[in-house]
Chain A
Amino acid sequence: MTTPVYPMTRAEGCPFDPPPKLRELQDEAALVKVQVFDKTAWLVTRYADQRKLLADPRLSADVSTPGYPSQTAMAPKSDDGVGIGFILMDDPEHARLRRMVTAPFMIKRVEAMRPAVQKIVDGLIDDLLAGPKPVDLMEAFALPVPSLVICTLLGVPYADHDFFQQNSKQLISLTATPEERGQAHGNLGAYLYNLVGEKLENPGDDLLSGLTERVKAGELARQDAAGMGVLLLLAGHETTANMIALGTLALLEHPPQLAVLQETDDPKVVAGAVEELLRYLNITHNGRRRAVLEDIELDGQVIKAGEGLIFPNDIGNRDPSAFPDPDTLDLHRDARHHVAFGFGVHQCLGQPLARMELQVVYSTLYRRIPTLRRAAELDEIPFKHDGSVYGVHSLPVTW
């Protein structure tokens, strides 16, 4: 049998479902050897194994660990030494750096931001209603919501949104050349390096200014503060924006599910709906990736040190043993145990913020614009098959 190549392609006309070939492999075996970019790696196909292994300290998220299955040629640092934060680091350094920025993402701090986010969402919907139609929902709503929020939290001027949105998209593009991605990383790195410099001089009341205290105390290099800024700015807008636009499209394609959100006043129902959409859409569709530091046994098979592992959380979230009838979008199901935010020590830091933003959006947009609908055929909508975060490049809507 030839080694299957990962990632795989989705089926024509099924933009919300993982590639069928992946599901076949999941049925066949818990561990499958796949070809990925320049090497082979093990695909961990099942939900329970994904959680078990992602929480195992014998794995490394560092791209320079032998066996790490990169998806493309990638440089972990830009030319001037700005990395991409702790997402590609291992403990204890990962934990040390992550803990420097965990406070603003605490549940109570995020809840305190809810009224401000509601205001942003309401304001953008006012603008939509007053503006021309059809309109691109991605550009006019889905990108601005999380971008405005993360800019305020980090202390990044929103006026620079075209710059950071474009460079972020390029940095996680699967079709850009290594040079183009390096360029985008360099642009973002230099931008944040300068911004951290400004805040060293003139600190404000924001996350990046908070980090400058650590820089002054000698606990954090200025490059590493900038690297965390790149990570938070990128992860803070691109992901949530895709959940807003792709989530809206999925709901428009499932009218009874859309009605659930239009008809409820119950925050619990809304919160449950967000979890189910996260599970069902699993926008980080390119798999979590790790290298193995010490031999690990799984299902009687030994995964050796120096081998690579890929955790396709999209099919983890469609594993029938964890989610009965997994291909049905059912906003009333209990999906809270999904792995759309990953699992283990790298599980998404921004998840409380992402959840809150999505709860505000999903409970507001379809009630304020009840006749919202696509303004293009489904097969004309450009899906992000070319990005390591899935979604739509644009979503023409009208009402």
Chain B
Amino acid sequence: MKIIIDQDKCVASGQCVTAAVDVFDQRDEDGIVVLLNDNPPEDLAADVHQAAAVCPALAIVVED
């Protein structure tokens, strides 16, 4: 699994952190997404796909 994030598109809704807290975090100054792990273990796959699905800015792409 490979995750690509787009910080320019991100609107800091926090949805990805809620879905997969071990994979996504938010930048302290403005809440924009940061990736904690761009190739997380398989057991987090469902959470990561959930995060991508609920991102309102379509800023998360997951390649299996």
A351 and B13 contact, Cβ closer than 8 Å, known pairs A102-B30, A102-B31, A103-B31: yes
Q: Give min CB distance, B6 to chain A, whole Å.
A: 12
- Chain B residue, CB-CB nearest to A338: B54
Q: Give min CB distance, B29 to chain A, whole Å.
A: 6
CA of A71 to CA of B56 in the docked complex: distance in angstroms? 24
- The answer to whether A333 has its CB under 8 Å from any CB of chain B is no
- The answer to whether B63 has its CB under 8 Å from any CB of chain A is no
Q: Give min CB distance, A351 to chain B, whole Å.
A: 6
Q: Give min CB distance, A73 to chain B, whole Å.
A: 30
CA of A99 to CA of B27 in the docked complex: distance in angstroms? 11
A-facing mask of B27-58, CB < 8 A → 1, else 0? Answer: 01111100000000000000000100110111
- Chain B residue, CB-CB nearest to A348: B13
A352 and B18 contact, CB distance less than 8 A: yes
> What's the dominant secondary structure at chain A's contact region?
loop
CA of A99 to CA of B26 in the docked complex: distance in angstroms? 12
A55 and B31 contact, CB distance less than 8 A: no
- The answer to whether A36 has its CB under 8 Å from any CB of chain B is no
Q: Given A99, A342, A352, which contacts B30 in the complex, CB threshold below 8 Å?
A: A99
Chain A residues whose C-beta falls within 8 Å of the C-beta of B61 in the assembled complex: none
- The answer to whether A191 has its CB under 8 Å from any CB of chain B is no
Chain A residues whose C-beta falls within 8 Å of the C-beta of B32 in the assembled complex: 99, 102
Chain A residues whose C-beta falls within 8 Å of the C-beta of B18 in the assembled complex: 107, 352, 355
CA of A351 to CA of B11 in the docked complex: distance in angstroms? 12
A107 and B14 contact, CB distance less than 8 A: yes
CA of A355 to CA of B14 in the docked complex: distance in angstroms? 11
Chain B residues whose C-beta falls within 8 Å of the C-beta of A55 in the assembled complex: 56-58
B-facing mask of A41-84, CB < 8 A → 1, else 0? Answer: 00000000000001100000000000000000000000000000
B12 and A345 contact, CB distance less than 8 A: no
- The answer to whether B23 has its CB under 8 Å from any CB of chain A is no
A347 and B53 contact, CB distance less than 8 A: no
- The answer to whether B19 has its CB under 8 Å from any CB of chain A is yes
Chain B residues whose C-beta falls within 8 Å of the C-beta of A95 in the assembled complex: 11
Q: Give min CB distance, B30 to chain A, whole Å.
A: 5
Q: Given A102, A343, A355, which contacts B56 in the complex, CB threshold below 8 Å?
A: A343
A106 and B56 contact, CB distance less than 8 A: no
Q: Given A107, A342, A355, which contacts B26 in the complex, CB threshold below 8 Å?
A: A107
Chain B residues whose C-beta falls within 8 Å of the C-beta of A341 in the assembled complex: 13, 56
- The answer to whether B17 has its CB under 8 Å from any CB of chain A is yes
Q: Give min CB distance, B16 to chain A, whole Å.
A: 9
Q: Given B12, B53, B57, which contacts A105 in the complex, CB threshold below 8 Å?
A: B12
A106 and B26 contact, CB distance less than 8 A: yes
Q: Given B13, B19, B56, which contacts A336 in the complex, CB threshold below 8 Å?
A: B19
- The answer to whether A157 has its CB under 8 Å from any CB of chain B is no
Q: Would you list 14 pairs from A and B whose C-beta atoms are within 8 A, ordered by A residue?
A: A55-B57, A99-B12, A99-B32, A107-B17, A108-B26, A110-B14, A337-B53, A341-B13, A341-B56, A347-B11, A347-B56, A349-B13, A352-B13, A352-B18
Chain A interfacial positions (CB closer than 8 Å to B): 54-55, 95, 98-99, 102-103, 105-108, 110, 336-337, 341-345, 347-349, 351-352, 355
List of 8 A-B pairs having minimum Cβ-Cβ separation, nearest first? A347-B56, A102-B12, A102-B31, A106-B31, A107-B17, A352-B14, A107-B14, A106-B26
Not counting A99-B32, A347-B57, a sample of 18 additional A-B residue pairs whose C-beta atoms are within 8 angstroms of each other reads A55-B57, A55-B58, A98-B11, A98-B12, A102-B11, A102-B12, A105-B12, A105-B31, A106-B12, A106-B14, A106-B26, A107-B18, A110-B14, A336-B54, A337-B53, A349-B13, A351-B14, A352-B14
